[in-house]
Amino acid sequence: MVSYVSVSHKFFGGLSRYLKGYFLDIQDDLQMANIPYTLEEYLSVAVFTTAATLLIEAALFGFIFGLLNFSIIVNMLLSFTLAATVSGLLFFLFYSYPITKAKTRGNKIKKLLPFAVAYLAAMSSSKLPPITMFKTLSQFKEYGTVSEEANNVVQDVEAFGMNFSTALKRQAKRTPSAELRELIWGINTVSSSGGDLTSYLSQKSDEYMNDYKRKIRKYSQDLSLFVEMYLTLVISGAIFFIVLSSVVSSISGDITTIIIQTFVVFILLPLISLGFIVLVKSISPLE
C-alpha cells in the first residue's frame, strides 16, 4: 500500500537530501519525540504538504478575490502573498513540532518516572534479568511514555540483536528526559560492573518519590493560593460589580449597564474561569 510518506519522498526526496544539511538540529528531536521517520522522510512530508497547501490556497484565494472583482494583477499578488504566508507558517509548524513533542514527552516521563522506577525496583528484588524487567515495564501501559522508552530498549535487543548495554546507551542518547537519561546510564553502569541493581533502583526510587512528594506539597500550596485569588478577585469582585451596577442602573435607567452585566456574567466570567482551569492543570504534577 502506498503511504503518504512514500509519495512525498518520491517527489521531494532529492530536494530533502539537499535541505537536510540545514535541518540537522531537529534530527535528534525526531528521535526524542519518538517520530518514526528519518530526517529525509520528515522533510519530504513537510515540503510536499507545504507545496500542496501553497497551490490549493493560491487557487482558493484567487477564486475569492475574483468574486470580489479585484484586477488580475492585484488578484495574483494577493493570492500568492497570502498563500505563501500561510504555507510558510505551516512549514514552521513542521519544523517546531518535533521540538515541542520532545519537550512534552520529556515532561510526561518526568511525572511518571517515580512510579516506574518503584516498579523496576520491586521487580529487581525478585532477581529478574534487567532485560526482562524492561520488557515487563514496556507491557505495563499505565506508565505511558516510560513504557514506550522501555519498549525501545527491548526492540533494540530482540529485533536488532544489540546487547543490553548497547541498547541502554542508544536509548540514553535519544530519550527527551534528563532524569531518565541519568537513570539509564546508572542502570548500565551498575549492570556492567556487577553491582547491586536492586539497591541502586531502590535509592533512585526514594529520590524520585521524595521529589514527587515535594512537588505535590508545592502544588497544594499554589492551589490554595489560586483558589483564594479566584474567590476574592473573581467571584467576590463579580458580585460586587453586579450589585453596584444594578444600583446605578436603577437610578440612571441606562440600558448600557445591563449590556455590560450580561457581558461580564456570560462571557468574561466563563473566560476567566477557563483561564484558571488551564493554569491549574498546567502546573499540576499529576497531569
pLDDT at 1: 46
Give residue for cell 548500565: 188
HEC letters along 21-64: HHCHHHHHHHHHCCCCCCHHHHHHHHHHHHHHHHHHHHHHHHHH
CA–CA gap between residue 114 and residue 146 (Å, rounded): 10
CA–CA gap between residue 245 and residue 258 (Å, rounded): 8
Higher-scoring residue by pLDDT: 123, 243: 123
CA–CA gap between residue 53 and residue 48 (Å, rounded): 8
Kindly state the cell numbers that stand for 278. 488551564
pLDDT at 24 over 70: yes
> Residues 184-243: pLDDT tens digits?
999 999 998 888 999 999 999 999 999 999 988 998 898 888 888 888 888 888 888 888
CA–CA gap between residue 133 and residue 141 (Å, rounded): 14
CB crowding 119-140: b at 16 or more within 10 Å, else e? bbbebbeeebebbebbbbbbee
Note the Cα 97 to chain centre separation in Å. Answer: 9
pLDDT at 287 over 70: no
pLDDT at 243: 83
> Residues 143-200: pLDDT tens digits?
889 999 999 999 999 988 899 999 999 999 999 999 999 999 999 999 988 889 999 9
Kind plus residue range of the DSSP H or E element containing 241:
helix 237-252
Kindly state the cell numbers that stand for 236. 467576590
CA–CA gap between residue 171 and residue 152 (Å, rounded): 7
Query: DSSP character for 176?
Result: S
Provide the sign of the torsion angle of the four alpha carbons 193, 198, 202, 208, taken in this order. positive
> What is the value of pTM for the model shown?
0.77
